[in-house]
Amino acid sequence: MAVTHGPRKTASAPPDATVTGWALAARGGDPEAVDRFFRAVHQDVWRFVAHLTADAQSADDLTQETFLRALVGLRRFEGRSSARTWLLSIARRAVVDSFRRSATLPRLSPADDWQSAAERAQPRNVPGFDDGVALSALVATLPDERREAFVLTQLLGLPYAEAAVVSRCPVGTVRSRVSRARTALLQDLHAAERLGLSADG
């Protein structure tokens, strides 16, 4: 199955039980079930890796890698957790492996690329600025572990217990990371609002 690039737009995601049923059927070699399973979780996988990497091109590549790994490992999926949780765990490992590979490559320059630097320098308090982009920018500033916990639970809607499975840590740790992420985001939002008010005044 060819997986398209970028986040897939869907009206509403099917229930986890349905998605897990498709994954179990796909394990038995049903090509239609494979297609339904991958289409149902594509957007969540892309959004998750995009938030972890903060790079759309990397997100496209890592989403493809996640689905390739899932195809290879599908026969071992037994449905003990939801298929979405299982796939997001694979996505997380793909991101971690990607970071490890990148760490072994020589850096051409210690400076950020010009496009990222220019995007960060853009004013955020101008009329018409997309609130979703602003939130994504703030989420990107969170430490890695807090960002992962926040994205899994608050943006992708995973229960804390399933987020703990993906993150390989206790549920209490996930709750703590989400709480700290929310506090940091609220502080940043209030600071941005005060900045906007002082600029207007």
Cα–Cα–Cα angle for 137, 140, 145, rounded to 5 degrees: 155
Predicted confidence (pLDDT) at residue 137 exceeds the cutoff of 50: yes
Q: Which domains can be identified in the chain, with CATH numbers?
A: 13-104 (1.10.1740.10), 124-201 (1.10.10.10)
pLDDT (0 to 100) of residue 45: 93
pLDDT (0 to 100) of residue 113: 41
As a whole number, mean pLDDT of residues 2-22 equals: 66
pLDDT (0 to 100) of residue 40: 93
DSSP string covering the chain: -PPPSSPPP-SSPPPHHHHHHHHHHHHTT-HHHHHHHHHHHHHHHHHHHHHHH--HHHHHHHHHHHHHHHHHHGGG--SSS-HHHHHHHHHHHHHHHHHHHHHHSPPS-SSPPHHHHHHHHS-SSSTT--HHHHHHHHHHTS-HHHHHHHIIIIIS---HHHHHHHHTS-HHHHHHHHHHHHHHHHHHHHHHHHHHHHHH-
The amino acid at residue 1 is M
* Model confidence pLDDT, tens digit, residues 157-185: 889 999 999 999 999 999 999 999 888 88
As a whole number, mean pLDDT of residues 112-123 equals: 40
Measure the CA–CA gap between 33 and 30, rounded to whole angstroms: 5
As a whole number, mean pLDDT of residues 134-146 equals: 81
pLDDT (0 to 100) of residue 134: 61
pLDDT (0 to 100) of residue 115: 40
pLDDT (0 to 100) of residue 37: 92
